Amino acid sequence: MKALLLENIHADAVKALEARGYEVETRAGALADQELIAALDGVDYLGIRSRTHVTREVLAAAPQLRAVGAFCIGTNQIDLEAATEAGVAVFNAPYSNTRSVVELAIAEIITMARRLADKNRDMHAGVWDKSAQGAHEVRGRTLGIVGYGNIGSQLSVMAEALGMRVLFYDVVDKLALGNARRVDSLDELLAEAETISLHVDGRASNTNLFGPAEFAKMRPRSLFLNLCRGSVVDIDALHDALVSGHVAGAAIDVFPSEPKAKDEPFVSKLQGLPNVILTPHVGGSTLEAQVDIGRFVAGKLADYESWGSTSMSVNLPEVTAGPLQEARIVHLHHNVPGVLARLNSALANHNMNIGSQTLATKGHYGYAVTDISGERYDGLLAELEALDETIRVRVL
């Protein structure tokens, strides 16, 4: 099996895949559509981070591709609908860099509250301004978290340990941790919190979640952080709120448009503004997180290839499968009545004995993992591929 890993995925991912028998090619940067299509010739497994986009066109041009590993949290750079239709599994690392993002958020909250960026700039310019003007402790201040998933909830715990009062808003009813309090609306959060931190996903409904109206509703002289997705913030509106002084500081790690490589220039209206921290999408970029992400996603890809396990797949029905006993059929199909009966009938036609069978469904798709034993394997794969419901089938 051949794997292609892009965007400087950690070397531990390479080692993990090679240890499972893969031939691994690595490339430092992201690839655009046509470059990616050319690079995928003969590739069975693709590993990317956030800058490479796996489109419907790319998937159509690589019918041999079995899975895509997103070595990051987000998967909005992958056309998940097209991947599922093509029978391509998608895996990500939803937990591996949680701590790294939270630590950066905490560091930036303190940096802005103490105006450390301004002090640092002045000191480098030879200005000794030993003043407490505009500098505050974070203890006792109110943090408003928008999105209470893995990152938002852990930020809640760490902020509370610093003595902050925590409010959160999420469209899904989430259990509050510690003394955090859930509010019923975004407007309620903006009216109470002195620091706002965004931790939502990149779905279309979150595009420009924060625009002129939302910034206007924030408390005067509040702080603002976005370490989730660049598309959720109207940068022009944030710029205006900072210039007017209504927002006292901002820390932005993600942007609507980001360079695809290090040698491309970065340009933003936020450059040069005081008490604004700009970082190049490094929320999860710690060595510890990258090691864990590399090992985790590489393991998911290898388990899918060797055992057919779709545990924690983003797009396929989830079946946890362990090592093989003798042989195994993994069958991704359209979720229609009677499909399992037709699958088993085909196995019976080849005198296959079923040792165990697990079926999971997700929307319009079903995934069956069947351990079998027998002697008439010739023609079995072709018969299963010929079923009208079959999307992709493998004999392991």
Q: pLDDT tens digit string along 2-15?
A: 999 999 999 999 99
Say yes or no to pLDDT of 260 above 90.
no
Closest alpha carbon to 80 in 49, 51, 59, 52: 59
Give the three-class secondary structure for 90: strand
Instruction: Give me the pLDDT at residue 50, please.
Output: 87
CB atoms within 10 A of CB 170: 18
DSSP letter at 263? T
Q: Hey, what's the torsion of the CAs at 290, 94, 310, 336, to 10 degrees?
A: -150
- Computed over every residue of the chain, the mean pLDDT equals 95
Instruction: Give me the pLDDT at residue 210, please.
Output: 97
CA distances from 263 to 32, 49, 148 (A): 16, 18, 35
182 strand-pairing partners: 168
Q: Which pLDDT band, with edges at 50, 70 and 90, does 377 fall under?
A: confident
Say yes or no to pLDDT of 202 above 90.
no
Give the three-class secondary structure for 34: helix
Is residue 4 within 8 A of residue 25, CB to CB? The reply is yes
Is residue 207 within 8 A of residue 235, CB to CB? The reply is no
Positions marked active-site: 229, 258, 281
Site of tokens 């340009």? 267
Residues 323-367: pLDDT tens digits?
998 999 999 999 999 999 999 999 999 999 999 999 999 999 999
Report the C-alpha gap between 215 and 234 in whole angstroms. 10
Q: What is the mean pLDDT of residues 139-147?
A: 98
Report the C-alpha gap between 180 and 182 in whole angstroms. 7
Q: Which pLDDT band, with edges at 50, 70 and 90, does 291 fall under?
A: very high
Instruction: Give me the pLDDT at residue 376, please.
Output: 78
- 251 burial (CB, 10 Å; 0-12 / 13-18 / 19+) is buried
Give me the half-sphere count of Cα atoms (radius 13 Å) on the Cβ side of residue 13.
Answer: 33
* Structure token pair of residue 320: 């946890």
Residues 59-117: pLDDT tens digits?
999 999 999 999 998 898 999 999 999 999 999 999 999 999 999 999 999 999 999 99
Say yes or no to pLDDT of 261 above 80.
no
Q: What is the mean pLDDT of residues 261-285?
A: 92
Is residue 7 within 8 A of residue 51, CB to CB? The reply is yes
Q: What is the mean pLDDT of residues 295-309?
A: 97
Q: List alpha helices for 201-327, DSSP H.
A: 212-217, 235-244, 287-307
Say yes or no to pLDDT of 378 above 90.
no
* Structure token pair of residue 222: 């509040």
DSSP letter at 149? S
Report the C-alpha gap between 253 and 347 in whole angstroms. 53
Closest alpha carbon to 97 in 143, 50, 145: 50
Q: Which pLDDT band, with edges at 50, 70 and 90, does 381 fall under?
A: very high
Report the C-alpha gap between 204 and 304 in whole angstroms. 29
In order of their start, the domains of the chain are 1-96+286-316 (3.40.50.720), 98-278 (3.40.50.720), 319-396 (3.30.70.260)
CA distances from 372 to 139, 321, 382 (A): 61, 14, 16
* Structure token pair of residue 332: 């991704």
Is residue 92 within 8 A of residue 297, CB to CB? The reply is yes
Q: Which residues contact 345 (CB under 8 A, 6 or more apart)?
A: none
Q: Which pLDDT band, with edges at 50, 70 and 90, does 375 fall under?
A: confident
* Structure token pair of residue 383: 């018969």
Q: Which residues contact 28 (CB under 8 A, 6 or more apart)?
A: 7, 8
Lowest mean pLDDT across 135-149, 176-190, 320-334, 370-384: 370-384
Q: What is the mean pLDDT of residues 39-51?
A: 95
Is residue 177 within 8 A of residue 152, CB to CB? The reply is no
Counting residues of the chain whose pLDDT is more than 70, the rounded percentage is: 100
The backbone torsions φ and ψ at residue 50, rounded to the nearest 5 degrees and listed phi first, read: -90, -15
Say yes or no to pLDDT of 259 above 90.
no
pTM value is 0.83
Is residue 208 within 8 A of residue 231, CB to CB? The reply is yes
